[in-house]
C-alpha cells in the first residue's frame, strides 16, 4: 500500500536525500525545532487551542462521510488532531517526533485509490507546486474519498490583515507555483483562492476526478482574537463561544470579512 517508505515507531522516514533543499534551508521557520515550539504555543494559548479544536471538528465531520480506509493529515506539524481523531495518520515534510509518515505532498507514497480522506490545516499555501499535490490526491483517493482543507481566504478584510500584519506573502494575482526548497518560509497565502476560485476552470486539467463540493467562508474573528502564534490573545478563552456566536451573526458578511476558507473536494468517477 505504501511505496518507498519506512514505518518506524516514532516517525516514518522517506529517503530524505530526495529533498536536499529542505535540509539545506537555514531559515528558522524551516527548522523542526521551530515547529515544536509552535506546537507548545498552540496548546499553551487557550484561545488559540480552542480555535484549533473547532477547526478539527470540521475535519472530523468531513471524515465521517468518507469511505472506509486510511485517513491522512498532511502537514500535521505542531497540531494535535490525532488526540481528537486517533485513527488519523499524521504526516509532515519535516523530521518530527510521533509522526506516522514523513512525506512530500507532491509525491504521496500510497497506491492508487488507497486513501479514504485527506485533511490539511494551513498547509496548501506552502506546497511549491499545488497542482502536483492535487494530481497526487486525485490518484490516491478512493471514489467518494474527500480532501478537506482550511486555508487563508481572499476577502476585503483578509487582504487588509494578511498584507499588513502577517509575515507570509498574500498575492492573489500570483502564479500557480511558489519557490521550492523551504517548506515553511516559502508560501503564498492566496494559493487556495488562485486554484479553487480564480483558476477553477483549469482544475480538471490536473485532477479530473476531483470535484469541488464546498467552499465556505470561515472564522473572521476567532483566529485574529487568538493572537495566532506570535501575539497575545485579545480575549480570555472562555469568550470563545461568544466569538463563535458573533461570527454566526456575521455570516451574511463573511464574504467580506472571513480570514479562511473551508474547501472540500471529492473523488468521483469520470
Q: Which of 135, 145, 140 is nearest to 264 (CA)?
A: 145
Residue 269 has pLDDT above 90, yes or no: no
Name the least confident of 51-55, 183-187, 242-246. Answer: 183-187
Residues 162-206: pLDDT tens digits? 999 988 999 999 999 998 888 888 899 999 999 999 999 888 777
Res 23 pLDDT > 50? no
Residue 56's pLDDT band, with cuts at 50, 70 and 90, is: very high
pLDDT of residue 1: 52
- 92 domain residue, yes or no: yes
- pLDDT mean over 226-250: 97
Does 151 reside within a domain? yes
26 pLDDT tier (thresholds 50, 70, 90): confident
In a domain, 49, yes or no: yes
Taken in order 109, 110, 112, 117, the sign of the CA dihedral is negative
Q: What is the DSSP string of 166-226?
A: -SS---TT--S---SS-TTTS--TTHHHIIIIITGGGHHHH-TTEEEEEEEEE-SSHHHHH
Which domain CATH number covers 174?
3.40.50.150
210-218 and 141-152 strand pairing:
unpaired
3: in domain: no
Given this model, what pLDDT does residue 17 score? 27
Q: 3-state SS string over 47-81?
A: HHHHHHHHHHHHHHHHHHCCCCCEEEECCCCCCCH
| Cell triple for 146 | 474527500
What pLDDT, on the 0 to 100 scale, is given for residue 5?
42
Categorize the per-residue pLDDT at 265 as very low, low, confident or very high, splitting at 50, 70 and 90. Answer: very high
Structural domain includes residue 176: yes
Q: Does the reported pTM lie above 0.85?
A: yes
**How many domains would you assign to the chain?**
1
Q: Is residue 2 part of a domain?
A: no
pLDDT at site 208: 85
In a domain, 6, yes or no: no
* Range(s) of the domain holding residue 120: 16-267
Q: 10 Å Cβ neighbour count for 270?
A: 8
* 97 CB neighbour count, 10 Å cutoff: 9
Cα first-last separation, the chain: 24
- Paired with 233 in beta bridges are none
- 7 part of a folded domain: no
**pLDDT at residue 18 is higher than 60:** no
**Whether the predicted pLDDT of 8 surpasses 80:** no
Instruction: Quickly state the pLDDT bin for 19 (edges 50, 70, 90).
Output: very low
Q: Lowest-pLDDT range, 65-79, 87-101, 171-185?
A: 171-185
Amino acid at each position: 500500500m505504501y511505496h518507498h517508505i519506512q514505518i518506524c515507531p516514532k516517525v516514518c522516514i522517506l529517503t530524505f536525500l530526495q529533498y536536499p533543499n529542505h535540509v539545506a534551508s537555514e531559515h528558522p521557520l524551516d527548522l523542526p525545532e521551530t515547529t515544536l515550539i509552535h506546537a507548545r504555543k498552540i496548546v499553551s494559548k487557550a484561545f488559540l487551542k480552542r480555535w484549533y479544536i473547532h477547526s478539527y471538528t470540521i475535519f472530523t465531520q468531513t471524515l465521517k462521510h468518507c469511505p472506509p480506509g486510511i485517513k491522512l493529515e498532511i502537514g500535521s506539524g505542531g497540531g494535535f488532531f490525532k488526540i481528537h481523531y486517533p485513527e488519523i495518520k499524521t504526516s509532515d515534510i519535516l523530521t518530527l517526533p510521533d509522526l506516522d509518515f514523513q512525506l512530500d505532498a507532491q509525491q504521496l507514497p500510497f497506491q492508487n485509490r488507497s486513501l479514504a480522506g485527506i485533511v490539511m490545516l494551513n498547509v496548501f499555501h506552502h506546497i511549491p507546486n499545488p497542482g502536483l499535490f492535487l494530481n497526487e490526491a486525485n490518484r490516491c483517493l478512493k471514489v467518494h474519498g474527500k480532501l478537506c482543507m482550511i486555508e487563508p481566504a481572499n476577502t476585503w478584510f483578509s487582504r487588509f490583515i494578511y498584507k499588513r500584519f502577517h509575515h507570509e506573502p498574500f498575492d492573489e494575482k500570483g502564479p500557480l507555483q511558489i519557490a521550492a526548497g523551504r517548506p515553511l518560509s516559502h508560501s503564498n497565502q492566496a494559493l487556495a483562492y488562485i486554484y479553487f476560485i480564480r483558476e477553477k476552470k483549469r482544475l480538471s486539467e490536473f485532477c479530473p476526478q476531483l470535484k469541488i463540493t464546498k467552499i465556505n467562508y470561515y472564522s473572521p474573528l476567532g483566529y485574529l482574537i487568538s493572537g495566532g502564534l506570535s501575539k497575545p490573545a485579545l480575549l480570555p478563552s472562555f469568550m470563545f463561544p461568544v466569538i463563535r456566536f458573533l461570527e454566526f451573526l456575521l455570516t451574511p458578511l463573511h464574504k467580506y470579512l472571513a480570514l479562511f476558507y473551508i474547501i472540500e473536494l471529492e473523488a468521483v468517477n469520470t
